[in-house]
Chain A
Amino acid sequence: MFRAIWAWIQKFSSPKYFFEMSARLIPWFAIPAALVGAYGLYLGLFVAPTDYQQGESYRIIFIHVPAAWMSLFIYVVMAVSAAIGLIWQIRLADMIAAASAPIGASFTFLALVTGSLWGKPMWGTYWVWDARLTSELILLFLYFGYMALQSAIEDQRTADKASGLLAIVGVVNIPIIHYSVEWWNTLHQGATVAKLDKPSIDISMLIPLLLMALAFKLFYAAVVLVRARNEVLLRDRSRRWVRELIEKL
């Protein structure tokens, strides 16, 4: 049983197999991402009611909140796949981690920019040292550290392992950083969706928000596959199957 699973994992995680499979998988993520995203944006920007307190400018949350969720989600994905790569020596997992980092950093950046754009009319200033904005900024630094280490080490295998370990150390530290910053200072509005009993957000705003979150997840899945394909080609460029592939072109 275990042997069968292991054989299946090894087959699926071989870069060549992945390269062929992912080409077929990408449209299955990319097209729904576009459709769900378009519908979510339509609901969020045109259908959802105007907020009685914040007016129209609250609508940026349909980008801001999903982007902030993604920034953390991608870091966790990165750390988990880096751990898989470190423990079971699966190269594909390392490539997924390396491919995820720039996407995660972009989402973090997007969350920061939309947050500060929202902050201008709400708080009267682009930047406040608010707890969650600050955590997000530190998360961006963690992404930068990962990418810097990844690109500083010449040997690709070592680079993967070293930056993978850093991602794992980072993921252990994220809750500590988050809560110490939270404790340090907060004037951000409280969480409105994660409260299990009764979310304090209206259903007409919640649905577009969740749709956008789904769209961002699908978008990430599509983009990470594209980027991972590039990583596969780059790392296996001297192997035979890549050469044969190129000769066929």
Chain B
Amino acid sequence: MLRAFYHVLLRDLRLALRSRHELLNPLIFFVLVVSLFPLAVTPSETQLQQMAPGVIWVSALLSVLLSLDRLFKQDYEDGSLDQLMLSPNPLVILVLAKVCAHWLLTGLPLVLIAPLLAVFMSVPDAALPALLYSLLLGTPVLSLIGAIGVSLTVAVNRGGVLLSLIVLPLYIPVLIFGANAIDVASDGMSVRGQLLFLGAVLALAVSLAPIATAVALRITASR
């Protein structure tokens, strides 16, 4: 079972690393969207600082949302998803491996580039750990919940808007606590509560979302 997990994980990573530009796109999108806000609203430092948590988190949400397609779309089209479902290994484990790969390829880069955006949005240094930890705990949840949405819509023609309609409301708790953690840290207060909440949501998502995704994939495959 563990071997199957690693196998799927490595396969997805290898596939993604062979088309590097595709890997970079969500990341560039993330930076681009964040840098639109100073242009659209104001370059004033204090105001940027005020809206930084929300802007960074909403952009992260959208960036993950756009990259969700990658999770199952290609596998669905070339039939390897059916092969995965036929394998004797539990589908939940394979789904978890695919989600892990997705997070390593999209969520983790967002976390790594976040300090740059903190500079763009003049986030105070004191809030930088909160920004990184909240993204580190929050982005896996986005991949996990997103996987349910993608597996339900992967067979729908032009399912992109539909996917965001389904998934975005479910992202709201992560958005609230993620942005709030940065906000509170900017004021120099403890973010323990927010991070614990994000951790709890992550634990819940890791244990339940792969099951829902596996069921959803079987429903999609049955058509």
Contact surface of A with B, Cβ cutoff 8 Å: 86, 138, 141-142, 144-145, 148-149, 152-153, 155, 158, 161-162, 165-166, 168-170, 172-173, 176-177, 180-181, 183-184
Contacts and interface: CB of A to CB of B under 8 A. Distances in A.
A181 B169 contact: no
Interface in B168-187: 168-170, 172-173, 176-177, 180
A166 B148 CA distance: 8
Contact of B169 (A153, A162, A165, A177): A177
Given A155-B223, A158-B219, A162-B152, A172 B169 contact: no
Contact of A162 (B180, B201, B208, B220): B220
A133 to B, nearest CB: 14
B172 A138 contact: yes
A165 B152 contact: yes
Closest 4 CB pairs of A and B: A180-B173, A145-B166, A141-B169, A158-B223
Contacts of A169: 148, 170, 212
A89 to B, nearest CB: 12
Interface of B: 148, 152-153, 155-156, 159, 162, 165-166, 168-170, 172-173, 176-177, 180, 197, 201, 204, 208, 212, 215-216, 219-220, 222-223
A165 B215 CA distance: 8
Which residue, A86, A144, A181, A183, has most C-beta atoms of chain B within 10 A? A183
B212 A142 contact: no
A170 B170 contact: yes
Contacts of A86: 215
State the majority secondary structure of interface residues on A.
helix
A161 B212 CA distance: 12
B219 A180 contact: no
A168 B220 CA distance: 16
A167 to B, nearest CB: 11
Contacts of B201: 176
B220 A158 contact: yes
A142 B170 CA distance: 8
A56 B102 CA distance: 56
B166 A161 contact: no
A149 B166 contact: yes
A138 B223 contact: no
B207 to A, nearest CB: 11
Contacts of B165: 141, 144-145, 148
A92 B165 CA distance: 27
